[in-house]
Amino acid sequence: MNLPGGDEVTVTLAHYLVVSGLVFGIGTTIALSKRNAIAVLMGIELMLNAVNLTLLAFSRFSSAFPAGEEPLSGHAFVVFVLTVAAAEAAIALAMAVLLYRRRETVDLDRVNLMRW
């Protein structure tokens, strides 16, 4: 790949890890700080996708593997993570609807019948 100035850069494992680490951090921050249940769910999705990116990057680049061999277990792992994330989101939305019907809010600060 060439930068505008003409310098050539190689995208390495480290680039992918930094990006996925940032996405994971952003996702964690959203999941822990947002008060709306749906927004928290979006944060969780970001975290899971950061994991997927990490897995795929390692699968493609890692030096622990014999040269030229791309282990498929990383790819398989990603498929499972995607499936589980979909199941989780489905249940979470159902729960949010249930809660909204009863309490007319999905604001986690106001869902506080139980404290301390």
Partner 1 sequence: MSLAQELHYIGPALALFVGAGVVLFADVLSGRRAPRWGLTLAALAVALAWTFVLAMDGDARGEALSGAVRVDAFSIYFAFLLVGVTLAVVLCAKRWADSIEQGAEFYGLLLISAASMVLLAQGNDLITIFVALETTSIAQFIMAGLARTDRSAEAGLKYLLTGSVAAAVLLYGFAFLFGMAGSTSLPVVAEYVASAPESGRLPLLLAFVFIIGGFGYKMALAPFHAWVPDVYQGAPSIVGSFLSVASKAAGFAVALRVFYTGLGGGDSFMAEDWAIFVAVIAGLSMIFGNTGALLQTNAKRLLGYSSVAQAGNVAVGFAAVAAGSTIGPSGVLFFLGTYAVTNLGAFIAVHVVAERLGTEEIADYAGLSRRSPALAAVLSLCLISLTGIPPTAGFIAKVYIFNAAVQTGHDWLVVLVAVAVVNTAISAFYYLRWVRTMWMDDPVEETRFQPAGAVQVVLLLSGFGVLLFGVWPGPLINAARSAAETLSIL
Assigned token pair, 12: 């390495």
Residue (1 or 32) nearer to partner 1, CB: 32
Q: Which residues bind partner 1 (CB under 8 A)?
A: 24, 27-28, 31-32, 37, 40-41, 43-44, 47-48, 50-51, 54-55, 57-58, 62, 64-65, 71, 73-74, 76-77, 80-81, 84, 87-88, 91-92, 95-96, 98-99, 102-103, 108, 111-114, 116
If one counts every other C-beta atom within 10 angstroms of the C-beta of residue 88, the result is 14
Cβ proximity to partner 1: between 3 and 64 the closer is 64
What are the helix (H) ranges across the chain? 13-33, 37-61, 73-103
Tokens of 4: 């505008």
